[in-house]
Amino acid sequence: MRAVTVTPGVPNSLRLTEEWPEPAPEEGAILVEALAVGVCGTDHEIIAGSYGEAPPGQERLVLGHEALGRVLEDPTGRLHAGDLVAGIVRHPDPVPCTNCAVDEWDMCRNGLYTEHGIKGLPGFARDRWRVQPKFAVGLDPALAQVGMLLEPTSVVAKAWDHIERVGRRAEWKPQTVLVTGAGPIGLLAALLATQRELSVHVLDRATSGPKPDLVRALGATYHATPVAELDFEPDVVVECTGAPVVVMAVMYKVGPTGIVCLTGVSSGGRTIESDPGALNRALVLENNVVLGSVNANRRHWELAAEALARADRGWLNSLITRRVPVGGYADAYAPQPDDIKVVLDFQA
């Protein structure tokens, strides 16, 4: 069968392997036929050789962590042949740490977790894969075209879960949310904000392309101005750019008792002028909280599946700006200017 693979640490070792072995039974009882995988920045980093780890004893890593497939067989009876399914990306560390011990692997404390298509486990960019029931998430049958958005949606479902847990430290009735960055994570964070009936603002650099219209289609307001120029103070900020200037600006901009959730991973190494004393003063005097959020556990994947099932299908579909057949895999992994989400299609 076909698989898209890399040799981790070796730049541009991306290949489509035609004779990849069938998934081993130890990978899980549920056998799945791939429909599609989404492509994201982590894939680009792995292809560039700066990230990624093959399974123990193997040279190559199958890519793909934003899965969508159709169940071929599930002898455990939890899912049925034909059901749509995604595989949870992260598995708990073997020690396990206090959080992995209770299946909160998104909060792993020792970094020994494994991740499909990223770190020590084969990915989902292959014709067939297997998954253990514990890591299989069923999707609404209507999501056959867009269900590969479940993984990025799980990331924002976790961010919202943690924002709301922090919010409950005191009386909390948020009204406005600012999302910075209108990539897939930002747009999905905005979707979940509209489902909470908040007044939603999305800020991005783009003044053309699909982003402004996608934001307006949610009933949200689009801004292409610097954060400091916004004429309101948000109750919640979901920061999805990782850009140092934006990260600093939203910590000043957030309103009294406001929460800033950072989800963007910065590359580091770029310095900007800052006044830590003034920032500290701004955060303390307004009871602000700044938290980082990454990955998701099973509870968040299930919340994400519900959120996608409730969302407008046409809008979700318009996040997918290119669908590339597996044979043209190299195109899928070559970014283009107006890309939002690119999908590798195993059925085309």
Q: Which is nearer to Zn ion, 93 or 161 (CB)?
A: 93
Q: What is the DSSP letter of 86?
A: E
Q: Which is nearer to Zn ion, 241 or 297 (CB)?
A: 297
Q: Which is nearer to Zn ion, 97 or 202 (CB)?
A: 97
Q: Which is nearer to Zn ion, 43 or 93 (CB)?
A: 93
**Rounded CA gap, 337 and 220, in Å?**
23
Q: Which is nearer to Zn ion, 53 or 233 (CB)?
A: 53
- Mind spelling out the 3-state secondary structure of 226-250? CHHHCCCCCCEEEECCCCHHHHHHH
For Zn ion (CB under 5 A), the number of binding residues is 4
Residue 109 beta carbon to Zn ion: minimum distance, rounded to whole angstroms: 6
Of the candidates 85, 77, 100, which has an alpha carbon nearest to the alpha carbon of residue 29? 77
Residue 323 beta carbon to Zn ion: minimum distance, rounded to whole angstroms: 36
Of the candidates 107, 116, 132, 103, which has an alpha carbon nearest to the alpha carbon of residue 27? 132
**Rounded CA gap, 134 and 78, in Å?**
10
Strand ordering across the sheet containing 259-262: 221-223, 199-203, 176-180, 236-239, 259-262, 289-292
Q: Applying CB under 5 A, which of residues 89, 97, 237, 324 lies at the interface with Zn ion?
A: 97
Residue 108 beta carbon to Zn ion: minimum distance, rounded to whole angstroms: 3
Per the rule left: phi > 0, alpha: psi between -120 and 50, beta: everything else, 140 is beta
Query: Taking CB under 5 A as the rule, does residue 249 contact Zn ion?
Result: no
Give the range of 95-103, 162-170, 178-186, 219-227 binding Zn ion by CB under 5 A. 95-103
Binding to Zn ion, residues 129-188 (CB under 5 A): none
Cis peptide before 234 (omega within 30 of 0): no
Give the range of 21-29, 92-100, 178-186, 298-306 binding Zn ion by CB under 5 A. 92-100
Give the range of 64-72, 76-84, 91-99, 274-282 binding Zn ion by CB under 5 A. 91-99
Q: Which is nearer to Zn ion, 34 or 108 (CB)?
A: 108
Tokens 């934001």 identify what position? 215
Q: Which is nearer to Zn ion, 158 or 253 (CB)?
A: 158
Q: Applying CB under 5 A, which of residues 43, 66, 74, 93 lies at the interface with Zn ion?
A: 93
Residue 318 beta carbon to Zn ion: minimum distance, rounded to whole angstroms: 37
Q: Which is nearer to Zn ion, 5 or 295 (CB)?
A: 295
Rg (CA), the chain: 20
DSSP-H helix ranges across the chain: 41-47, 150-167, 184-195, 211-217, 244-253, 276-285, 298-310, 313-319, 329-332
Residue 155 beta carbon to Zn ion: minimum distance, rounded to whole angstroms: 18
Q: Which is nearer to Zn ion, 107 or 144 (CB)?
A: 107
Is the Cα dihedral 8, 14, 20, 26 positive or negative?
A: positive
* Amino acid letter, residue 124: F
Binding string, residues 101-140; x marks residues near Zn ion by CB under 5 A: -------x--------------------------------
Largest CA distance in the chain: 61
Binding to Zn ion, residues 60-89 (CB under 5 A): none
Q: Applying CB under 5 A, which of residues 67, 100, 220, 319 lies at the interface with Zn ion?
A: 100
| C-beta separation of 37 from 125 below 8 A | yes
Q: Which residues bind Zn ion (CB under 5 A)?
A: 93, 97, 100, 108
